[in-house]
Structure 1
Amino acid sequence: MSKAITNKKQMEILVRLVEENLDIAKGVCAKSQAKPRWEKFASELNGEGPPMRTWEKWLKVWTDFKFNTKKKMSQNKVEQKATGGGPNKLHTFSQLEEAVI
């Protein structure tokens, strides 16, 4: 089974949609309210496909992207507190990751 890779345009749309719906971004709205909005998001995102995904899969794409961005931030924080020499190991962030931050 090959892994579907989200295209750049879809990621830009996903971040924009979530920025416009901060309660969705933070995961603080009820599932009964979130599901119809995620279904609408999926419809818009699939219009820019492939890949085509269900609303649940798009939700997973968002949570994974948010998790990985937070992980990079955490690693940067640890690296900044590190002592000693060696090369700089700080992660840089894309514009989309900056929007999530």
Structure 2
Amino acid sequence: MSGIPSRRRVTYAQLEQLWEFLNRNRHIATGFNKTAQAREFSKRMWEEITQTLNSHGDGAIKDWKGWCKYWNDYKSKLKKMTAALRVSQQRTGGGPSQVREMNEIEKKFLNLLGEDFGQGVPGARVEPFEEV
């Protein structure tokens, strides 16, 4: 990681700061950076927020790639949680949910990504491979 010491835990304050940054820069939050110019802009923005996130004395310290990877991993975690909650809510038989509810910061990030995040494409159907 280019000489930056790494601590493992991201603090709640860092998550709040990351949410504020991504809320102001939703195009970075969703990751639609297809052109070289868009990727370069995204890199500069991640470098900028990295300084802010690393300035929290008791939190994780990462380079811009580390924070970008953290965000991608966090989105993946949210997608899995959303799917598990949806399956749990659609179960028959009643009773309490077997999946923990999302906390406030997770709900904020999910709201940022949109209510249909992790839902899949409605009505999409994948045909099975033909046997040869």
TM-score range, shorter chain: 0.7 to 0.9
Q: Measure how far apart 1:25 and its partner are.
A: 0.3
CA distance in structure 2 between the partners assigned to 1:60 and 1:16 by the alignment: 18
5+ unaligned residues in a row in structure 2: which ranges?
1-5, 111-132
Contact 2:14/2:56, CA 8 A, preserved across alignment: yes
Q: Which residue does the alignment assign to 2:108?
A: 99
| Deviations, residues 17-59 of structure 1 (Å, cap 9, x unaligned) | 1111000000013211100000001011011144211000011
Aligned 1:1-101 pairs, distance under 5 A: 4-29=8-33, 30-49=38-57, 50-101=59-110
Larger radius of gyration: 2
Instruction: Give the secondary structure class of the aligned counterpart of 1:61.
Output: helix
Q: Percent identity?
A: 31
Q: Measure how far apart 1:3 and its partner are.
A: 6.0
TM-score in terms of structure 1 length: 0.87
Q: Measure how far apart 1:92 and its partner are.
A: 1.1
**Structure 2 counterpart of 1:7, one-letter code:** T
TM-score in terms of structure 2 length: 0.68
Aligned residues: 100
CA distance in structure 2 between the partners assigned to 1:3 and 1:77 by the alignment: 33
Q: Measure how far apart 1:87 and its partner are.
A: 3.7
Q: CA RMSD in A?
A: 1.8
5+ unaligned residues in a row in structure 1: which ranges?
none
Decide which structure has greater helix share: 1
